[in-house]
Amino acid sequence: MSRISCDAKITFFERFEADILSGAKTITLRDESESHFRVGDRLSVSTFETDRHFCDIQVVRVEELAFDALNQRHAAQENMTLEQLKAVITEIYGEIKTLYLIEYRLL
């Protein structure tokens, strides 16, 4: 299989793999340590747990977003309810005020 040349790498928890591959999940919300991605970047995507590559994506939008500004649209783009999304973010990052929204398309 020929692989696309990528600029960088990002990982996702395995439980989100199916939603990403089906196109149901089109954004991810990260902390400052992953705020360096830029529009146009091609990212190699692997599972966080075992570093298994499962797709490549291209970044189409990056923006700072306050946790308190999360809304139903963000939740829909994550294929979750807003309550689920807030719980997932708090589980991963603890109490966090500033997030970075990364919107992507599958390559």
Ligand X SMILES: CC(=O)Nc1ccn([C@H]2C[C@H](O)[C@@H](CO)O2)c(=O)n1
Cβ(54)–Cβ(44) under 8 Å?
A: no
Q: For residue 103, which phi and psi values (nearest 5 degrees)?
A: -95, 145
Comparing every residue's Cβ against ligand X, the nearest one is: 12
Instruction: List residues binding ligand X (CB under 6 A).
Output: 11-13, 16, 28-30, 48, 78, 88-89, 92
Q: Which is nearer to ligand X, 6 or 24 (CB)?
A: 24
User: CB of residue 16 vs ligand X: minimum separation in angstroms?
Assistant: 5
End-to-end CA distance of the chain: 14
Q: Which is nearer to ligand X, 5 or 50 (CB)?
A: 50
Is-catalytic flag, 28?
A: yes
Is-catalytic flag, 83?
A: no
The residue annotated as part of the active site, out of 14, 25, 26, 64, is: 25
Cβ(64)–Cβ(30) under 8 Å?
A: no
Is-catalytic flag, 97?
A: no
CA angle 17, 91, 64 (to 5 degrees): 80
Catalytic residues: 25, 28, 78
